[in-house]
Amino acid sequence: MTLEMRTTLTLDDDLAGLLKERARALGIPFKEAVNRTIRAGLGEASAQRPPAPRTIPHSFGFRPGIDLDKLGQLADELEAEAFAEKAHDSARRQRSRSRSQR
């Protein structure tokens, strides 16, 4: 036994027209077309929503004073330092090669 609730529903004109066309095409009353459409929409909405992702907290052990919002800047600075050291080592090797060739 299904319980029915009577309610007033205001539909946009274009939506009401689509529902009337569907009811006519299926040979069902307008009320049934509205109920079927709402059921289908609610079923799709619940089926399409994946569960919320679980967040697992983790302590990264950063020392006090390290600004976590500037980690990108820190990575850039470390990369620049590594590049400068590599360039300095390369220049030193070239100088020692040029001295040995004299």
pLDDT truncated to tens, each residue of the chain (102 aa)? 567 888 898 999 999 999 999 999 999 999 999 999 998 888 876 666 677 888 888 887 777 777 778 888 888 999 999 999 988 887 777 777 666 665
Dihedral through CA 20, CA 26, CA 27, CA 31, nearest 10? -50
Q: What is the pLDDT of residue 17?
A: 96
Distance CA 77, CA 48 (A): 44
Q: What is the pTM of this model?
A: 0.43
Domain range annotation of the chain:
13-48, 69-100
Closest CA to 38 of 7, 63, 82: 7
Cβ within 8 Å of residue 68, ≥6 positions away:
62
Residue 84 structure tokens = 């400068």
Cβ within 8 Å of residue 62, ≥6 positions away:
68
Distance CA 81, CA 75 (A): 10
Q: What is the pLDDT of residue 50?
A: 74
Q: What is the pLDDT of residue 45?
A: 65
Q: What is the pLDDT of residue 5?
A: 85
Q: What is the pLDDT of residue 100?
A: 65
Q: What is the pLDDT of residue 68?
A: 78
| Cβ pair 21, 33 in contact under 8 A | no
